[in-house]
Structure 1
Amino acid sequence: MKQVKKQTTNTNNYMEIRRLPFEFSSNIDPHWHKQRPEWSHMVNGASLSMPFLEPYLIKTMRKANQLIDSKKLNQEVSLYIGQEGQHFQQHRKFNDRLIEYGYSELVDIENEMKQTFGHFETNRSLKFNLAYAAGFETMALGIGHWLIKDKDYLFGGSDTKVASLILWHFVEEIEHKCVAIDAYNHLYGNYFYRVFGMIYATAHVIKLSQKSYKVMLKKDGLWRNMESRWRLMKMIIRFYKNMIPSFLEACLPNHHPSKISDPEWSLQWINQYNLDGKKLTLLNTENLNEF
């Protein structure tokens, strides 16, 4: 394996593994944003992939960490693994509630996801898997910035438990934004393959999410409802409008996440965690600017 030595430039000094006591009752409403059921299912669809995608990322980063000869990056990878481990466990609890609510068709999609990521792990090279990881984290960074910038529209007035879960997840995605790309650059550093990994991972995760939310919208009788379809289309356009600029920026040869400043709200979230983390499991969705 050709190893390209590059300086790791992760300037994030406050990474922490946070174990928050999220609880999701059996009667939680899948339309957790009453005004935006289509958006609710877009998020639900993305959540469905987390218990399969994130263990795959963890296994990939563990393998990479055995080859990395930077103690600083070794430590950052370990913290990344710890954070992702918390993420998929919390999403597993939420997803179980969705299935119990009546979306039993999601079990078949879960089995497909398990097989797909298992295939990647077994049959694809570490270079591919690490490029996928770096690509996914690039997408997650862009999504995190969008969710925070647009939080009042996306989460205002919604179920506090779900909003708190998603915002916690993406605050930490922003927090560990450098780790996967630093690992990829340390071991490989090929620019074109990094961009390929980003395109592949982004398209793959979006495809999985779309398949999942389509099933839920069909179950609700909304998929063939033209008003619902129009609301869904507007939300998809909103997503791409916010994501495309960050995606294009990430395609530049000199791209590195450390050059992107963290949103002030995410830093305030971290400060609140240090004061009283339990409050962050029940954010006030009527005023998300106050903790």
Structure 2
Amino acid sequence: MTDLKPRKMDFGFDDADVPFLWNPENPAWSSMSNAVSFLAVGFEKMIVKLIRQAKPLMTDPAVAEEAVAFMRQEGHHSTAHRQHVAALIRRYPGLQNTLDAVIGEYDLLTEATSINYRLAYTADLEATFTPVFKLMLDNEETLFRPGDDRVASLFLWHFVEEVEHRSSALILYKAVVGSELYRMRMAPSVFAHVLKVIRIACAGFNQHVPLGERKVDALSMFARHRAKQRVLTFFAPYLSKGPMPRAFDGLPIGEQLTALKGAALSQTPGHDPAHENLPVLADEWFRRYDAGDDCTRWYTAEPAASGANR
């Protein structure tokens, strides 16, 4: 029996404008996380279709149950991120083309690749989430608290549920495909595709969101782009797309290296996400949700009458 709980959340993105620079203290993080929202819409749409295609191949009822719960969580994530992205598109209509391009990349992946490949893709990418999201959640005071509470709460919910279902994608992969060697062999193409999609989103931000509102070159998360831009703007400063800080520049370097090591180890044979070192905030989030707190306003909502401690 799966322990996953699909939780449908409404963050009220229709209630008021949603700023692109949702955490004004860290414009690079605002841009990077916005790109994650765009990717989530396409990636999680792909997951839902993949599980529907792969479910007949799952002969173990427990695996099939895990697949359905996993699919429902990812479906809710896709819906919520689509609402966030729609709010950004209302402010910057050109971003509709960016969203279409991102979704198109995943639609093409669905059409052009096998179920086995997409199961490996999902397992490889999902395996990196717990160490990477632990870095983010452990630094929520810097990355999330200073920002728009709706956007911050969206990402907190998404990331803690990714921690909750950290083993799901690998369970499904092992049940249908099984080969650890195949998963490792596919990893380079998987992460090349992920970076391609993120680059599409960031390039769209540079094109459609004025520099005065994004404050940074949205592509500054890419080291090769930073190096190229430094050379170009040295000779032609007018070509600059803006400052090029990184989203995690202010985070402890030791924690960044731990996250990087965890992401690398997640691609090795025998990796078991169940044994990951988990972010403390995940337990707090689940406790507050179960106590009835409004987790769509993580930082500003009043605690529930049940008295869950913050």
Q: Same fold (TM over 0.5)?
A: yes
Q: Percent identity?
A: 24
Q: How does 1:155-234 map to 2 (within 5 A)?
A: 155-217=144-206, 219-221=209-211, 222-223=216-217, 224=240, 228-231=243-246, 234=249
CA offsets 1:221-272 (integer angstroms, 9 cap, x no match): 243266x213558479979645421122113222111121432320121111
Residue 46 of structure 1: which of 36, 55, 80 is its match?
36
Partner of 1:58 in structure 2? 48
Is the 8 Å Cα contact of residues 2 and 69 (structure 2) preserved in structure 1? no
Unaligned runs of 5+ in 2: 218-239, 301-308
Amino acid of the structure 2 residue aligned with 1:130? L
Q: Name the residue aligned to 1:248.
A: 264
- CA gap of 1:67–1:186, structure 2 versus 1, over 3 A, is same
Paired residues of 1:17 and 1:79 also in contact (CA < 8 A): yes
> What is residue 4 of structure 1 aligned with on the other side?
none
Return the letter of the residue paired with 2:30. Answer: S
Determine the structure 1 residue equivalent to 2:77.
87
* Mapping for residues 265-284 of structure 1, pairs under 5 Å: 265-277=281-293, 279-284=294-299
Report the 3-state secondary structure (helix = DSSP H, G, I; strand = E; otherwise coil) of the residue aligned with 1:20.
Answer: coil
Output the CA distance in 1 between the equivalents of 2:148 and 2:142: 13
Inter-partner Cα distance in structure 2 for 1:192 and 1:236? 34
Aligned length in residues: 275
- Higher mean displacement: 39-48 or 255-264: 255-264
Matching residue of 1:114: 103
Q: CA deviation at 1:116?
A: 1.9
4+ residue segments displaced more than 6 Å: 235-240
Which one-letter code corresponds to 1:189 in the other structure? G
Between structure 1 and structure 2, the one with the greater Rg is 2
Match of 2:27 among 30, 37, 40: 37
Give me the CA root mean square deviation. Answer: 2.6
* Contact 1:161–1:282, Cα closer than 8 Å, also in 2: yes
* TM-score, normalised via structure 2 length: 0.80
